Structure 1
Amino acid sequence: MNDRDINLEEKKRGRPAIGRGEQINVMVRPEITQAIDAAAAAQTDQPARSEMVRRIIREWLVERGYLPE
C-alpha cells in the first residue's frame, strides 16, 4: 500500500462554522467588554465572547419585535 492508496480526511482549520452569516466588526469600550464577559461567565454553558454578543443582540431584537422568536 502506498501513500496514494491511503484516504485521509483533511482537517479543517480555523473557527468552527456557525452557519451562513455576515461578519460585523465593532469597537467597544472596556466596560462593555467586561460586562459581556461577566454575562457570559454567568451562563451555565459559559459561551465565548462572540457567542455572548450574538445572544445579547438576538435577545434585544426579539424583545423589541424586530426578530421573531
Structure 2
Amino acid sequence: TSIRFCLDGDEPGRKAAAELMRKYYELGYEVEDCPPPAGYKDYNEWLVAAKLNLNRMNKRADEPVRA
C-alpha cells in the first residue's frame, strides 16, 4: 500500500509532509511526497490558475480568425 502526500508548499506544509511520511514509512507504507508545482502555494491555487488558462484558451479558440 502506498500513500501520496499532497500538502502545501509552504514551510508548515513541507514540515507536516516530512513528519507524516516518516510516520507512515515506519508503519510499513510506501510513501511519496507530491508538493504543488513550483510557484504555487497549494494545489487549489494551481488548479484555479489552470482553469483560468484553459478558459482563456477556449475564448481565443472561439474568436474568428483575422486574415
TM-score, structure 1 as length reference: 0.31
Structure 1 or 2: more strand by fraction:
2
Greater relative contact order (Cα 8 A, min sep 6): structure 1 or 2? 2
Structure 1 or 2: more helix by fraction:
2
